[in-house]
Amino acid sequence: EVDISILSMVPREYFHPKPKVNSSLIRLNRKKSRISYKDKQKYNYFVMKWVNKEYKKIFTKNQFNKSLKHAGIDD
């Protein structure tokens, strides 16, 4: 079971080419962890490596920084 919350809306103007829809930055919180504490650090490391790699394919550095600023997330 997962709790889902919208952290911020991301306007379509932040993307190029501009899509027909707006985007959202969401948070997914699993109510009960399926990963042992021992393996959680390895899992987090894997996810962050994958996310960073995929963002580089989708966004330019400038687009990513604008999105973070819009969401109120500091470096």
Per-residue pLDDT of the chain (75 residues; tens, 9 = 90+): 889 999 999 999 989 899 999 999 999 988 877 777 778 888 878 877 777 777 777 777 788 778 777 777 664
For residue 74, the model assigns a pLDDT of 63
Binding site residue list: 1
* CB-facing half-sphere around the CA of 3: CA atoms within 13 A: 6
For residue 43, the model assigns a pLDDT of 80
Quickly count: other Cβ atoms within 10 Å of residue 1's Cβ: 6
For residue 24, the model assigns a pLDDT of 93
Binding site residue list for S-adenosyl-L-methionine: 1
